[in-house]
Amino acid sequence: MSEYLWIRNGRVIDPANGRDGAGDVFVRDGVFVEDLSDAERAAATVFDAQGLVVCPGLVDIHVHLRDPGQTHKECIKTGSRAAAAGGFTSIVCMPNTSPWADNAGTIQRIKDTAEAQSCVNVYPTGCLTMGGEGKALAPMGSLFRAGVVAVTDDGRCVQNNGIMRRAVEYAHMFGLPVMDHCQDSDITEGGVMNEGHWSLRLGLAGWPNAGEDLIVSRNIILSKYTGAHIHMQHLSSAHSVEMLRRAKADGINVSAEATPHHIFFTDEALRNYDSNLKMNPPLRTEADRQAIIAGLLDGTIDCIGTDHAPHTSDEKDKELDAAPFGIIGMETALAVCLEVLVHSGLCSLSKLVDLMSRKGAGIVRLKKGTMDIGREADICVFDPDEPWQVKPPFQSRSSNCPWTGMTLRGRVHRTYVKGALVWDVENPPAPVIEQ
């Protein structure tokens, strides 16, 4: 591979630097440079991006790679390939693995595996409490020194407010954001889908918005009390969005993300009992969906994260009550968000790129999501209008995708990490099918 890269004739979008227009991008030794010399241009690998968007590599701060311990669903190799296929160059993996990532040894194992197998940048998170059980605090000092970018018990939520207070105070000492899966387990116990018209009509146990709202309000109070940065994962409730809006107006140190599926689907999508639409938190009403979109547009919700959660076909091919929560989402995220936000005229392409790159990176303090001169050259090249049909096999090892069979617009053509090509739609790697 040449040590020089020249991407020509694309529409370059770099929100951090106010750039949106036709131009070229130059890379030398894996970092962005202003230009290349004539000799370097002659030696460069050249890609003509005519008709394509060239932007910073996308950043996903909410990914389940299932490694260690659940590699029959996903592994770091397949998860990173799915990321690259979706235009993501940096992903933050959750700690609810087997065993849970609640110690420095497990974090080091994840980092070593990523170094050996991943084609994108992988950043681990550590547990908030030991084993994600919500009882005893995880050793955040050693997790911080091991290199985690945040702490979370994602997949579970600390129910004891006293323990949560101590946990966020402890994390705050090390400057670590706390990422919280906001769910009051007493209220949501047994719930399968959003509580409302469709749960009643389908005869399924309901999961009320209050299960999220109570914890969001708790976290806002704790953030105000301690000064700790608490990040609300996958918001789904209109009332939660409004509480967050007021908290931010008051200067409280909170942030949040939304998922592509919560801005695309509503609970009506479950009318055929498709388990690939069963997720946590559940799909909500049209009013909730619109509130999430409004939150993204006005900055109440900071970024988009996929909550990529692979499960095998055997696990998902069950009645809705018995199937696990979760879907895969990295390979479809850009197209879904383009459909909902850009093609509908709700926001500019530049704003969407920002929501899917720099804004997420900022939550966990990564120097990613920009094309600043001297930064590592992580790049996504895509056609925002190209239609394609979603169908397996996916680059992810699992195929629990609710968009299967749909035609979406917006396709990633190339993904570069540190100037190296890691995804080419014309020459994709052979998928690793689930075993």
Catalytic residues: 307
Give the sign of the dihedral formed by CA 75, CA 81, CA 85, CA 88.
positive
Task: Say how far apart CA 188 and CA 194 lie, in whole Å.
Answer: 10
Among 322, 339, 324, CA closest to 400: 324
Task: Say how far apart CA 196 and CA 218 lie, in whole Å.
Answer: 24
According to DSSP H, which parts of 75-127 are helical? 76-85, 104-117
Strands 379-389 and 407-417: antiparallel
Sequential DSSP letters for 165-201 = HHHHHHHHHTTPPEEE----HHHHTT--EESSHHHHH
Rounded to 10°, the helix 210-226/161-173 angle is 50
